Chains A and B, each alone.
Chain A
Amino acid sequence: MNSEGVEFQVSHPNQEHGLHLPSPTAWPVVLALGLSLLLTGMVTNVAVSVLGVILAFSACVGWFRQVLPEEAHQAVEVHAEPVPVFTARRLAERRPEDATARKILPVETFLITSGIQGGIAGGAAMTVPAAIYGWVKYHSIWYAVNLLAAGGFVSWIGASNAFLSEFHLRGLLAALVIHGITSVLVGLLYGAMLPMFPRYPIVTAGVMAPLLLTGILHSAVAVVSPILDHRIDWFWFVASQIAFGLVCGFVVNLHAKVRTPQFQALPFSVRAGLHSDIDDRYHDESSDSDGEGTSR
């Protein structure tokens, strides 16, 4: 035992003198053996199965008689000695409870409207590289629009380049719905995520997130639709994603953050809940009364 430890005892003031526990019984093992022999007979000899049936039946009868009408018990004496337990942690003064002991994460965030505005702006920015790509490669700004609309009209995936380069009102409307909903949703996600990035949130969210998303989409689209995968130019796809990320992040970041009730200007480890700032302040005030061995 640790010499600095503190010893306690688990005492039992209301302890019973004796207990009833379920009686030992052979019927479970007999039933298990009977069922095993029953099946073993299928691969050996029918006599083994017959023996199994007899054992299983006997075990069921014996088991029922042991639990009906009342379960059989055995009496057990309870030993009265208290159980010693100890802790290596020296007793220390209780740390003062503080309202900041529990953090609400994130400590500050953007309003929902910021995310929506960012999503709309990012979505608009995204159309520029997409249109440039269509114009450079197919001399039509509608190519990317129709390709996106193929998400709604599956047969368009296999359509000719000439068809995809033409203007189709249905395609424009479908693309607007898909692009609009996706942009707003991702904008909301950015609004929630940006306050959590410790440094350069716009660059992190604007470059890293699109790269990760493209990686996931690239592997998924290859499985879902190899034809669509073949038609997508992934370089331009990344470019348009980054355009979205940078513009959306910039617009969202223009808005003022809303502080959560327990806002503190804390380092990341504290914001993530790994450390509490109480520890540091407590150490500063009374470094000699720290508890040894154990912390919360």
Chain B
Amino acid sequence: MATHIPLDEIHGSQEMGEQTQRKLWLEVLHDWVTTVDHKKIGLMYISYALFFLLVAGFEALLMRIQLAVPNNHFVSPEVFNGLFTMHGTTMVFFVGMPILFGFGNYLIPLMIGARDMAFPRLNAFSFWISAFGGLLLYYSYIGGSGLYGAGSAPDVGWFAYAPLTAKVFSPGHSTDYWTLSLLLTGIGTIGTALNIVATIISMRCPGMKMSRLPLLPWLYLVTSGLAFVAIGPLTAAQIMLMLDRYLGSHFFDTQAGGSAVLWMHFFWIFGHPEVYILVLPAFAFANEIIPVFSRKAIFGYPAMVAASVGIGFVSLGVWAHHMFTVGLGAAENTFFVLSTMVIAVPTGIKIFNWLATLWGGKIQFTASMLFALAFLFQFLIAGLTGIMLSVAPFDWQLGNSYFVVAHFHYVLVGAILFMVFSAFYFWYPKMTGRMLSEKLGKWHFWLFLIGFHLTFDFMHIPGLLGMPRRVYTYEADRGWMIWNMIISSGAVVQAVATLLFVYNMVWSYFKGPLAGPDPWDAWTLEWTTTSPPPSYNFAETPEVSSRRPLWDLKHPDDPDSDYEIGPSRRSRAKKESQ
């Protein structure tokens, strides 16, 4: 927590400023490695996630080349197993979570008017242990050995079902690398979640009641709560697996009285809330970006908060819809069918509220907004295929097919990644002080959109035709070739678009126009400070009286506090009516 000191205690600050401009790269590296500044840690999270995005994207490309034509042997089956395991694990644990925690780290203190996170050192520790977890996973390519001693990376799939993970079926250490790296990153996730909750609860600036908290921190609060609950079972399961593999216990060994289904329960009790841990921050970005580019306040703020909290709770009770094909029984299936369908209600509320925010607004089609609009449409489709799969008999037919792969990629790419791109275009100016090129941004958008729909729209079809997920290759007479060729072509287009995005980020960092503190004419507190913000965030602790403090500042004649329904407003209205 920052404390105020008088000026005379600051020794040689001017010389320090001059020296900063002449820093050696080693000093810069030292600064970043030892920093506890939430903004630098946020940027490190984001950079680390972007690196792994490129790695995991490359793995996906290799898989798509392998599947583009029948009877292909571009890579060996062993390598293919490693590719889909590493792609899934990396995207979920080392791209999705770090990038979202990175934005959260950067934005939450700024949005609530704080100078840092509640526990800055824990924040740094959480980042570094997550980062080392990722490095350990990829060290397996050098140090591990896989199924039947073949290959070196983990190759048991990203949800690593028992008994495939047992020592007898998965000798060597490749599965251990997978387990240990997730244990490490789990510690980091818990640390960051704890920090976010503590920061939001205890460090809001004067006047920022929970009813005035911007929706982004609100959703990160729910996400962090979910992370608390969800990471525990995963960690417990990983430890049990380690005990099975190292000490000869039999938690998941069915032949010795253990249960393979137990692993599935533990994994999916984590795994489905994990989807919401990833998608709620994407919702959070939409909640901030759509209103700004619609030039309207968010529609239905209380309903949005309630829906987010509702999603948080319901998402803890839907995990077994991943297990309909196990044969849980009619009553259990019915419960999870209904709970999965119920989650569509708060999600639907959100979609309607975003649409209502757009309704009648003066929409600005910036690159950021284009990604957000595509997110709205694609998330709707993802939700609809989710409802289809939530019906147990339908799932019995299409479970473990490419239809499922298409569905969850529609969520992870069509919703989450699109909103991450949108967030980059929106907050990059704040983070770097430079605008991203809008022209390149729109090229990026359209190319990525085309690539995405070529890949994931058509991916539903081979699924419906019976193509199983994780299949290494297929016979020509199956009729899947044309669809796989289209899917793989789309993947190449997405790769080109992603490289364009990376180029835009690098080019704009050096050559982009200066952003200024508030390039979007926005309304939340992060836009009241310089771009990039100073280490202390705000020269003076802000004081707010509405959900849009910068609106109030810009329009003192017409402040939001006159309109927002809250206890004070209600009591005033009651007095007026009397």
Contact = CB atoms under 8 A, between A and B. Distances in A.
A, B bound: yes
Interface residues of B, number: 84
Contacts of B553: 8, 10, 85
Interface string B292-315: 000111010000000000000000
A87 B518 CA distance: 9
Interface string B522-537: 0000011110001110
A15 interface: yes
A35 B139 CA distance: 16
Contacts of A78: 534, 536, 539
Of listed B296, B360, B391, B558, residue having the most chain A CB within 10 A: B558
Given A18-B10, A19-B536, A43-B180, 8 more contacts: A10-B528, A22-B116, A23-B36, A36-B184, A43-B177, A63-B121, A220-B337, A224-B331
A25 B124 contact: yes
Contact of B539 (A12, A36, A225, A274): A12
18 contacts: A18-B7, A18-B9, A22-B120, A27-B121, A29-B124, A29-B125, A36-B129, A36-B133, A36-B184, A66-B121, A75-B5, A77-B13, A79-B534, A89-B521, A89-B554, A224-B334, A225-B330, A294-B295
Interface string B238-250: 0000100010000
Given A16-B540, A76-B535, A85-B527, A21 B115 contact: yes
Interface string A77-97: 111100111111101001001
Contacts, number: 206
B362 A29 contact: no
A293 B521 CA distance: 10
A58 to B, nearest CB: 14
Given A21-B2, A28-B121, A84-B517, A15 B296 contact: no
Nearest to A26: B34
B393 A223 contact: yes
A228 to B, nearest CB: 11
A262 B115 CA distance: 45
Given A28-B36, A85-B527, A21 B334 contact: no
Contacts of B443: none
Contacts of B132: 32-33, 35-36
A201 B10 CA distance: 73
Contact of A19 (B2, B180, B362): B2
A106 B572 CA distance: 24
Interface string A47-82: 000000000000000010011000001011111100
A43 B141 CA distance: 13
A28 B122 contact: yes
A276 to B, nearest CB: 10
Interface of A: 1, 5-6, 8, 10, 12, 14-29, 31-33, 35-36, 39-40, 42-44, 63, 66-67, 73, 75-80, 83-89, 91, 94, 97, 101-102, 219-220, 222-225, 269, 273-275, 293-296
Given A83-B528, A85-B517, A20 B120 contact: no
Contact of A295 (B361, B521, B565): B361
B11 interface: yes
A100 B305 CA distance: 25
Given A33-B132, A35-B184, A76-B536, A28 B125 contact: yes
Interface string B1-35: 01111110111010001000000000000010111
B173 A86 contact: no
Contacts of A222: 393
B462 to A, nearest CB: 25
Contacts of B330: 223-225
Contacts of B299: 273-274
B44 to A, nearest CB: 11
A83 B529 contact: yes
Contacts of A16: 4-5, 539-540
B333 interface: yes
Nearest to A66: B121
Interface string B389-419: 0011100000000000000000000000000
A35 B34 contact: no
B196 interface: no
A35 B129 contact: yes
Contact of B136 (A12, A40, A225): A40
A86 B521 contact: yes
B266 interface: no
B75 interface: no
Q: Top 3 closest A-B pairs, CB basis?
A: A17-B7, A32-B128, A28-B125
B362 A87 contact: no
A44 B143 contact: yes
B528 A85 contact: yes
